[in-house]
Amino acid sequence: MASIRRQLVALIERGAIPDEQVERAVRLSGLYPSGRAWSVFVDRLLLWLGCLALAFAVLFFIAYNWAGMGRWLRFGLVEAALVLAVAVYWVVDGRGVVAQAALTAAALLLGVLLALFGQVYQTGADPWQLFFTWALLMSPWVLVARFAVLWVLWLGLLNLAILLYYQTWGGAFDVLFGGEASALWGLFLLNTLTLVLWELGARRWRWLAIDWARRLVALGSGIPITLLMMMRIVDELEASALALLVYPLWLAVIYGVYRYWKPDLFMLAGSCLSALVITILFLARHLFWQAEAAGFLLMSLAILGLGAAAVLWLKRLHAEMHS
């Protein structure tokens, strides 16, 4: 289905809208935000910035006055701010932007409280335990809120926990892969499973059908598998041959899903970029590397050619999706 902008342009080009009425038609179409829309945008922007500023102000205030504050004052300040944020969420009955901002601030303050606990009592815990405990304790809030920002924050904490855990202790994949490859496989599996569940859930719950959130999750799936494939090309001993099987399968699934089932140009552009990087790296590693100066010229031509082909294909897809 064509967008409002394209429909309006088509009407203007056919002369269906007189020249003197074009400005009025554009205004009525809603392409440009009204004064009220700008007022709502500024109001919400200031609300979010204020909540984030207050949450981080608690952290910076305690850090700056660390020597002059006792442990009970530190804990009392953070816990009072945390209780206040939860109380605001409860007062507004968990609805609206105010509730979402308050619960997000509470989630951030929970992380501040855990970091303060570890700093005061010097528990000796590994860094990954902080982020994992943070994600675990905020899980009920994430489930109750049904808010995409909190879900993305929760997933980001799990990603950090997995990455730090594998860097510290390794994991189940160490038998098959090296340390870095093991961490990347863990991130790839987590984010890919999340993306699948997110897309399925978005068909039932509207609050999950947010483009920026699922695209961010898709990046979390695409970046690790791309890095794994790059490691396989550069150092064949570092990454398992499994990447040679998983990467093409991942590209095929992304193409099939976001080309036919749920068209999304961003997803296809991301897969094109990944394939372009892998192709250029393979050519540079096995063909152009020994050609010295001529190799750099050939590699530049390959980048220009493949990049131009990808752009033309994406432009054609864009026209098809909006026709």
67: amino acid identity, one letter: A
Among the listed ranges 23-32, 125-134, 272-281, which one has the minimum average pLDDT value?
A: 23-32
- pLDDT of res. 290: 64
Please give the Cα distance from 178 to 275 (Å, whole number).
24
Distance CA 228, CA 180 (A): 9
Q: Assess whether pLDDT exceeds 70 at residue 178.
A: no
Stretch 138-151: mean pLDDT:
90
Q: What is the largest CA-CA distance in the chain?
A: 75
Most confident of 232-236, 237-241, 260-264, 268-272: 268-272
Give the pLDDT of residue 237.
54
Q: Where are the domains of the chain?
A: 1-33, 45-124
Q: Is the pLDDT of residue 52 over 80?
A: yes
Classified as helix, coil or strand, 170 is coil
Percent of the chain with pLDDT over 70: 85
Q: What is the average pLDDT score of the chain?
A: 85
pLDDT confidence bin for 318, thresholds 50/70/90: confident
pLDDT surpassing 70 at residue 303: yes
**SS3 of residue 68 by DSSP:** coil
Predicted confidence (pLDDT) at residue 105 exceeds the cutoff of 60: yes
- The region of weakest confidence among 149-163, 196-210, 294-308 is 294-308
pLDDT mean over 12-18: 72
Q: Residue 176: pLDDT band by 50, 70, 90 thresholds?
A: very low
**Backbone φ and ψ of 203, nearest 5°:** -75, -15
Q: From CA 320, how far away is CA 323, in angstroms rounded?
A: 5
In percent, the amount of the chain with pLDDT more than 90 equals: 44
Residue 102 and residue 43: Cα distance in Å, rounded? 15
Task: Tokens 């499973």: give the residue.
Answer: 193
Q: Which residue has the tokens 């090309």?
A: 233
Average pLDDT over residues 188-203: 93
CA distances from 20 to 26, 30, 159 (A): 11, 18, 56
Mean per-residue pLDDT for 25-45? 77
- State yes or no: pLDDT of 238 exceeds 60: no
- State the pLDDT at residue 1: 41
272 close to 314: Cβ distance less than 8 angstroms: yes
Using alpha carbons, select from 75, 143, 142 the residue that is nearest to residue 109: 75
